[in-house]
Amino acid sequence: MYPGAIAAVTPDKPAVIMAGSGQVITYRELDEESNRLAHLFREAGLRPGDHVAFLLANRPLFLAVAWAAHRSGLYYTPISSRLQADELAYVVGNCGARIFISSADLAGVATSITAATPGVELRLMLDGVADGFESYAEAVAKQPVTPIADECAGADMLYSSGTTGRPKGVKPASAHGPIDEPGALLRLVQGLFGPSDDSVYLSPAPLYHAAPLRYCLTFQRLGATVVVMERFDPERYLALVERYRVTHTQLVPTMFIKMLKLPPQARQRHDLSSLRYAIHAAAPCPVPVKEQMIDWWGPIVHEYYAGTEGNGFLYAGPEDWLAHKGTVGRSLLGTVHICDDDGEDLPPGEHGTIYFENGTRFEYHGDPARTRAAQDPRGRGWTTLGDIGYLDEEGFLYLTDRRSYMIISGGVNIYPQEAENVLSVHPKVADVAVFGVPDEEMGEQVKAVVEPASMDEAGPELEAELIAYCRERLAHYKCPRSVDFRAELPRQPTGKLYKRLLRDEYWPAEK
């Protein structure tokens, strides 16, 4: 199904509710707005397989723009509103966008890339106009509200957040099949989380990321109502669950941590009894954090491990997780292999690079070197996201860290995620990053950069307290030897940390 089919039956049902303003977009409005824009795409000469990009914060028409591209058979790339001009220009140019859509609140960065993106043929702006842009409202107003004649399914082409270098565009195969044909994600979501047209899905993260975008579109295929937060606030999130009787939601571990650090009265103030499924992914969740969430919310916390690339999917329901604490699940898509540097399979319990066999094939757009680097060195067609982990005897996967973040100190491999998991639950820590810094004797030593709950407490005493806290819980060599403090860490709202930006400050430029 898709919005047109829902609109034909329940036209006045809310498709989108903006949490901040309360603005409602009905299924009729979502269908008509996406139809108008689809006609504009065709009028501009775009055909199935062509590309559009949009730079938008969470806003009422975000999903309408995505549906317009999807029902036109286009590749569409929503772009992080946090990117700087050179990063934005790279993505727009690399994806080959012929149309670029932005909004007046982002006009500064949107207009700055015009000269650097000559392949863009049409630039549209919501809520105003700017140099080089036409008014979105005026352009779509004259278009029909009926579907285009050659509707077919498109596909998103999303970019990694660039935590370890230039963003990578993940280009899936798109067969331009029927617009109402259910995909693999819809079948997975239906089988695991039981959504229906009675569901209310709360999305607290930026819609330009894979999981928020794809899950919102999936729930709308079923006629559910999607509540979109403009930005995450822990107590506001709890209030929204109560107000809209939310049944399904998807979060990241940093959101769990922020809610757990609310005062007890704030946590207990809201009725959360409508919640049936709280889904999380995107980053590893410290075991104590998830234990506390299950104690608070009950056995409704579900986890999956997957990537934008779509090459595998693992799932851990609450019962499985409680029996295998720390796991990210067992595979539902793609056979998991743990391999050493030569591509040899490792036995259960041994750490290595995680590969998927028989998963969905993908390529990094315009980057054959990175595409090859994601494939196993023995040419068997297996692919990796670059994560390190191990399997237990029952096939449950445990993440260790990303290979690019591994610290080698005195020839010993150290995975900073372990220290991050420990420090993240300290009551005086709001956020933390652990990584390696140069050491003349050992090659690297472990460094922590901490965003304290209060900057007033930052200093030698808190540094000593945090190091001691970590050493009480981990082998000393895994713990930071020093701690620096920052008012804020460069973390995406999705929970992903720009660790590269921090790490680069401590390494010589030629490193």
**pLDDT band, residue 82 (cuts 50/70/90):** confident
Place of tokens 């727009």: 92
Non-local CB neighbours of 183 within 8 Å, separated by 6+ positions: none
Q: At what angle do helices 62-70 and 27-43 cross, to 10 degrees?
A: 50
Query: Given a cut of 60, is residue 510 above it in pLDDT?
Result: no
Report how many helices (DSSP H) and strands (DSSP E) the chain contains, helices first: 17, 27
Q: What are phi and psi of 29, to 5 degrees?
A: -65, -40
Q: Is residue 351 classed exposed, middle or buried when 0-12, 13-18 and 19+ CB atoms within 10 A define those classes?
A: middle
The predicted structure's pLDDT at residue 495: 64
- The β-bridge relationship of strands 169-171 and 158-159 is antiparallel
Non-local CB neighbours of 474 within 8 Å, separated by 6+ positions: 418, 419, 422
Of residues 82 and 391, the one with the higher pLDDT is: 391
Identify the structural domains of the chain with CATH numbers, from first to last: 3-10+23-181 (3.40.50.12780), 413-504 (3.30.300.30)
The predicted structure's pLDDT at residue 511: 38
Place of tokens 């790279």: 90
Tabulate helix, strand, coil % of the chain (nearest 5): 30, 25, 45
Query: Given a cut of 60, is residue 107 above it in pLDDT?
Result: yes
Task: Report d(CA 10, CA 6) in Å as an integer.
Answer: 6
How many CB atoms lie under 10 A from the CB of residue 508?
7
How many CB atoms lie under 10 A from the CB of residue 320?
16
Query: Given a cut of 90, is residue 310 above it in pLDDT?
Result: no
445 strand-pairing partners: 437
User: Would you call 478 helix, strand, or coil by DSSP?
Assistant: helix
Low-confidence winner among 193-202, 414-423, 435-444 (lowest mean pLDDT)? 435-444
CB 104 within 8 A of CB 55: no
DSSP 40-57: HHHHTT--TT-EEEEE--
Structure-token pair, residue 442: 């050992």
The predicted structure's pLDDT at residue 509: 59
**Burial readout 409-443 (b: 16 or more C-beta within 10 A, e: otherwise):** beeeebbbbbbbbbbbbbeebbbbbbbbbeeeebe
Distances from the Cα of 242 to the Cαs of 39, 166, 272, in angstroms?
A: 39, 41, 6
The predicted structure's pLDDT at residue 366: 83
pLDDT, tens digit, 9 for 90 and up, residues 129-182: 999 999 999 999 999 999 999 999 999 999 875 444 577 899 887 667 888 887
Helices (H), 261-413: 264-268, 287-297, 318-323, 368-373
Non-local CB neighbours of 267 within 8 Å, separated by 6+ positions: 238, 259, 260, 296
Of residues 181 and 212, the one with the higher pLDDT is: 212
The predicted structure's pLDDT at residue 230: 96
Query: Given a cut of 70, is residue 494 above it in pLDDT?
Result: no
Task: Report d(CA 113, CA 134) in Å as an integer.
Answer: 15
The predicted structure's pLDDT at residue 161: 57
245 strand-pairing partners: none
Over residues 32-43, mean pLDDT:
98
Over residues 81-86, mean pLDDT:
84
The predicted structure's pLDDT at residue 98: 98
pLDDT, tens digit, 9 for 90 and up, residues 39-63: 999 999 999 999 999 999 999 999 9
pLDDT, tens digit, 9 for 90 and up, residues 224-276: 999 999 999 999 999 999 999 999 999 988 899 899 999 999 999 999 999 99
431: part of which helix (H) or strand (E)?
strand 429-439
Non-local CB neighbours of 350 within 8 Å, separated by 6+ positions: 338, 390
